[in-house]
Amino acid sequence: MENNKKYINLYFGDDDFSMAEEMKKEKDLFKKRGDEMNIITIDWKDQSVSQGEKIGKLQEALMGTSLFSSDKLVIIKNSLFSASKKSKEITESEENIKDAVSDLILKYFGNIQAGIKLFFLEENLDKRKKVYKELLKMEKSGAATIKEFTMPLNFQFDNWIKNRVEKQKGKITREVVNALAISLGKGFAQKDKSGKIVQSYNLWEASNEIEKLISYCGESEIGVEDIKLLVKSKVDMNVFNLIDSIGAKNRAKAVMILNKQIEEGLNENYILTMLVYQFRNLIKIKSLLEQGLPKQEIVSQTKLHPFVVQKSIGQCRNFNLENLKLIYKKLFDADLAIKTGKINPNLALDLLVVSMV
C-alpha cells in the first residue's frame, strides 16, 4: 500500500474553478511523462454516454491493462458521492447501476495498481456512501488524499483577486481590489430555494474579468476607472441613488433616476429586485442600529459587505422602521401585481416610486 500513497484522491466542494485548475496541473504533469491517450475521464452527468458504457469504461480503466503503458490518469466525476434529495423517480435500474459502480470501485481498492492515479471529483458529498467511508480510512492511513475546495468568501475573495492579479503579473492596490470585488458581486449573496447561500460572483467570471483588465492596462496599475470602463458591475449605484432620493422626499429626482434606468435598457423586474434586496437590507440594519450595535457588529451579523452596510446606515437616517416595513410591503404587492399580469411593469414602478416619496 505504501507504494500507492496519494495515488487515490477525492476532490470536492463548491469551488469548481480551483478544482479544475488543480486537475489541469495534474493532466499537464501526466502528459510530460505519459501518453495523453491514457487520461481517462468518466462523467456520470454526461447524458451522451449510456450508463452501461460508463460502467464498461470504468471497468476497463481500473481493471484493464494497456499494451504499451500501464500508467493511467483516471478521473471519475459526479459518480457516487453526490448528496441528493430522495426522489420517487429514482428507478430500481438506477439503484442497481449505482451499486455496480460502487462494487467495482471497492473491488479496485482491494487491489490498487501503482501505475494508476485516480481522482474522484464531486460537488457535494454523501458521507454515508461505502466508497467515501473506505476513502476516509485510506486517508487516515496515508494512502489517499481528500481535499475540499470552498469558494472564497468576503475578504477571502479580496485576497483571491489580489493573488490572481499578481500571479498574472498585473498590478493592483487593496483599494482597487475592494472596488473590483464589489463590482463582481461580493456582499450580494442570496439563498436559493433549498436555503443554500449562493454567491453573486463566480471565480470563472472573476478570472475572465481580471485577464481583461490586465490585458487592457498592460504594465500600468489597474485603477477604479478601468473597472468602471471594462467590468459590468453587479452593484447598481443607481439603486442607492434612487433610495437616497426617496428618503430625501425628492420625488422629481427619484422619478428621473427611475426613468433613466429604464431608458438605458434595465429590465423593470431587475430594478424591482434590487429595490427589494436593498430595502430588506435596510430593515435588517435599521433594527440592529436601534439595538445600539456598531457598524462592525452589523457587518458581522448581516454578512453584508462593509461598503453596503456603510451606504445603508446613511440611508437608514431617512426612514423609521415602520416606514421601511410599509415600503417593503408595497414592493411585495407591486411584485405580485406584475407577476400576475394585473399591471404593466413600467407603470407599476412609476406608481411605486411616487407612493414611497
pLDDT in tens, 257-313: 888 877 776 677 777 877 887 888 899 999 999 999 999 899 888 877 677 788 889
pLDDT at 195: 63
For the segment(s) 155-230, the CATH number from 3.10.20.30, 1.10.1740.10, 2.160.10.10, 1.10.8.60 is: 1.10.8.60
Domain 237-356 belongs to what topology? Zinc Finger, Delta Prime; domain 3 (1.20.272)
Q: For residue 211, with 0-12 CB atoms within 10 Å meaning exposed, 13-18 middle and 19 or more buried, which class applies?
A: middle
Please give the grid coordinates belonging to residue 234: 453587479
Sheet holding 144-148, edge to edge: 39-43, 72-77, 116-122, 8-12, 144-148
Q: For residue 190, with 0-12 CB atoms within 10 Å meaning exposed, 13-18 middle and 19 or more buried, which class applies?
A: exposed
Pairing of strands 197-198, 190-191: antiparallel
* H or E segment to which residue 19 belongs: helix 16-33
Stretch(es) of the chain classified as CATH 3.40.50.300 = 2-148
pLDDT in tens, 32-61: 887 888 899 999 888 888 888 888 998 888
Place of cell 429604464: 262
pLDDT at 137: 94
Homologous superfamily (CATH) of 2-148 is P-loop containing nucleotide triphosphate hydrolases (3.40.50.300)
Question: What stretches in the chain show pLDDT beneath 70?
Answer: 1-6, 65-70, 80-95, 187-198, 235-237, 265-266, 305
Place of cell 501503482: 114
pLDDT at 236: 61
For residue 42, the cross-strand partners are: 76
Q: For residue 294, with 0-12 CB atoms within 10 Å meaning exposed, 13-18 middle and 19 or more buried, which class applies?
A: exposed
DSSP 356: H
Please give the grid coordinates belonging to residue 316: 437608514
pLDDT at 165: 97
pLDDT at 1: 37
DSSP 194: T
The dihedral region occupied by 156, where left means phi > 0, alpha psi between -120 and 50, and beta the remainder, is alpha
Distance, CA of 37 to CA of 315 (rounded, Å)? 61
Stretch(es) of the chain classified as CATH 1.20.272.10 = 237-356
Whole-prediction pTM value?
0.65
pLDDT at 24: 96
Place of cell 490572481: 164
Distance, CA of 272 to CA of 331 (rounded, Å)? 7
pLDDT at 192: 59
Please give the grid coordinates belonging to residue 114: 501503482
pLDDT at 128: 86
Is the separation of the CB atoms in 17 and 204 below 8 Å? yes
Stretch(es) of the chain classified as CATH 1.10.8.60 = 155-230
Distance, CA of 286 to CA of 91 (rounded, Å)? 51
